[in-house]
Chains A and B, each alone.
Chain A
């Protein structure tokens, strides 16, 4: 059986390459490939110098708002519901695309505690693999995604923006450590997306599973993969395989056990982080039915 396959396969490849060559010759060149000053390099060697400019900027009023979409912070009681929908819409979009993504850092720690966002933390960290960031860049950079959200009139629109400097694969690019953003255009809140890449330097030294991010975090393939399926903010999410080990390495054992943190106390009965100070005792977290977002913008391309 395989003999016959091996016979016709080279022929098929040849045919495809000829067809591809003809097609390329017939059409006008691709828009981006004739641009002379573009950070993305199609020569196949990749850029040799890190970018001189920062691509993503933080707003002047808060480091975790996008200044293009907001002029002030959200009121405290509105922040958490916005963040919940932000991560849900992101996870839902990636799942629909078949694009691999998982939570990391502070968000993974929040998942460990009660599978909910920390009420004091606006920062949501997710990671994607390198094929995923390439796919998102090719097909979905600067695309808007609208979702109907129960209780929110008109729903919300989210923007996926890729940092074009993602193709520079070195930690020397200290100004562009974040590879993409998922931005809530109604509030300016956003998710940081970083791509996890093979660490070529360490691999040359014999560390065959070495991975790195441009934010100088290093991992091993076996720490992250195979990803586990769990839930975060009542939504399906993927979790790195060795989550306890990763969390303990990054934050120390106490982060997994201390019930007092950032003016909040973890209530072992309700399994919720309650504000510690009296005047903030009102419950920030709405209990009850979960408002799941529903996508209205169709997705044209899928990763698989």
Chain B
């Protein structure tokens, strides 16, 4: 009882609301409380709680063995006991869980998000270092570019079709516009709706398709006719490339009108649908598609620099007339060491590589020129419907997967380089 002698007022002490088990200790008497319940309620919180601490656990044999520690640690050194008590404390365990999960998420963020980006960034910078070119023995694009029959490598857009340098504030529809349209794939209805949405005016607007106008969708021939009707520009996509190559071979082999002979000869590429389309196209339609170049040089547009349209992509640092046509129509990624473009998705996206190249070029040009933006290239492309809309500083990907029920996208560029994006929803044609 000597322990409690330091309490100022034993009466108040006795007014505490003890649990029933404390009464069984037989250490305290509760008589006062029982006789005077009202005074108990009134005096209950009159002193700070610390004043009621009895540290009973230190003396009471009942608490000698804690229920949480079943192992007898009395023989162990003291620091082990301390450590054991810390580890077994519930609050400590909670903290461990919280801090561990924070640590793990930090690590995962670093490992899977930040580090790969930093590494890729460093790898791209290294890949663009001219000194590394010597180490790896050369970069893509040094060969004498092979030429193919019936394929146009490069065309330049008629400069009179370009929008004006300054936006006209008085009348919105007075100026010329360029309307860049992503992969149509024979979705003619959607294309017509898109033209309505852009309030297309054939007198002032010029259509430029990013390739793959044809194949897969319901009305490839109709799309070609529409494009011809408006004297649109286009580039050669991988689907045009297949269908037109097949068609030229069928014409040369004289199998255009003979399905039996042609289809029986199966080991010439299994392109039943493409062969069918090759037959549906008239000579005029095929000739028009044949004039679509692999690379369309659009020219200077305010705020966009030098604009180029291709179907899939360009390798930075290679002249437009030295870009390999198969790669331009098919690339998705590049091999960083050699700059060899690839049609597979494994590797660094060509757009990342291209944008980095252009921004480095921009930095170096800023040192010597006042307005270097006109010397930089912006690529407008399609082909990559999986990445869908991808608008970056120097690359504008506008294939939004119309054929598979996505959208059809138009990038409208008006006077003063004013850019607008117009999209229409498409029906899913994959099930038809």
Contacts and interface: CB of A to CB of B under 8 A. Distances in A.
Contacts of A260: 137-138
B326 interface: yes
A230 B148 contact: yes
Given A257-B142, A304-B253, A244 B327 contact: yes
A32 interface: no
Contact of A113 (B144, B268, B270): B144
A222 B147 contact: no
Interface string A123-157: 00000011100000000000000000000000000
Nearest to B340: A253
Contacts of A111: 146
A53 interface: no
B149 A229 contact: yes
Contacts of A130: 267
Interface in B137-161: 137-140, 142-144, 146-150
A230 B149 CA distance: 6
Most-contacted residue by chain B among A115, A211, A229, A236 (CB, 10 A): A229
Given A131-B265, A209-B270, A239-B146, A226 B326 contact: no
A254 B137 contact: yes
B268 A257 contact: no
B242 A226 contact: yes
B326 A113 contact: no
B249 interface: yes
12 contacts: A113-B143, A130-B267, A208-B270, A209-B270, A228-B149, A244-B341, A253-B337, A257-B340, A258-B136, A258-B137, A266-B142, A304-B253
Interface in A219-263: 221-222, 224-231, 236, 239, 241-245, 248, 253-254, 256-260
Nearest to A237: B146
A248 B337 CA distance: 14
Contacts of B12: none
Nearest to B336: A253
Nearest to A238: B249
B252 to A, nearest CB: 9
Contact of A226 (B140, B249, B343): B249
Contacts of B338: 253-254, 256-257
A236 to B, nearest CB: 8
A225 B253 CA distance: 14
Contacts of A56: none
A131 B267 CA distance: 10
A221 B337 contact: no
Given A227-B245, A244-B340, A245-B342, 6 more contacts: A221-B270, A222-B270, A230-B147, A256-B338, A257-B138, A257-B139
B95 to A, nearest CB: 52
Contacts of A228: 148-149, 245
B37 interface: no
Contacts, number: 111
Nearest to A131: B265
What is the size category of the interface that chain A forms with chain B? 35 or more
A221 B144 contact: no
Contact of A115 (B146, B253, B324): B146
Contacts of B327: 244
B340 A256 contact: yes
Contacts of B139: 257
A243 B143 contact: no
A55 interface: no
Contacts of A304: 253-254
Contacts of B326: 242-245
Interface of B: 136-140, 142-144, 146-150, 242, 245-246, 248-249, 253-254, 265-271, 324, 326-327, 335, 337-343
Contact of B144 (A196, A227, A253, A271): A271
A259 B148 contact: no
Contact of A198 (B248, B253, B267, B343): B267
Most-contacted residue by chain B among A111, A227, A242 (CB, 10 A): A227
B147 A226 contact: no
B312 to A, nearest CB: 12
B415 to A, nearest CB: 40
Contacts of A257: 136-140, 142, 338-340
B147 A231 contact: yes
A211 B267 contact: yes
A49 interface: no
A243 B327 CA distance: 10
A59 interface: no
A26 interface: no
A129 B249 CA distance: 15
A17 to B, nearest CB: 19
Nearest to B252: A229
Contacts of A253: 140, 335, 337-338, 340
Given A244-B326, A256-B340, A226 B148 contact: no
A114 interface: yes
Given A211-B267, A222-B270, A304-B254, A114 B144 contact: yes
Contacts of B140: 253, 256-257
A248 B254 contact: no
A114 B136 CA distance: 20
Contacts of B266: 221
A83 to B, nearest CB: 18
B269 A224 contact: yes
Most-contacted residue by chain B among A129, A130, A211, A244 (CB, 10 A): A244
What are the 7 tightest A-B residue pairs by CB atom distance, in nearest-first order?
A225-B269, A258-B137, A253-B340, A229-B149, A271-B144, A226-B245, A114-B144
A268 interface: yes
Nearest to B343: A245
Nearest to B339: A257
Interface string A79-114: 000000000000000000000000000000001111
A236 B150 CA distance: 13
Contacts of B146: 111-112, 115, 230-231, 239
Contacts of B149: 228-230, 236
Contact of A248 (B144, B242, B269, B340): B340
Nearest to A241: B245
A180 to B, nearest CB: 18
Nearest to B278: A226
Contacts of B265: 131
Given A257-B139, A259-B138, A271-B144, A226 B324 contact: no
A209 B146 CA distance: 27
A258 B270 CA distance: 35
Given A222-B269, A222-B270, A112 B136 contact: no
A248 B142 contact: no
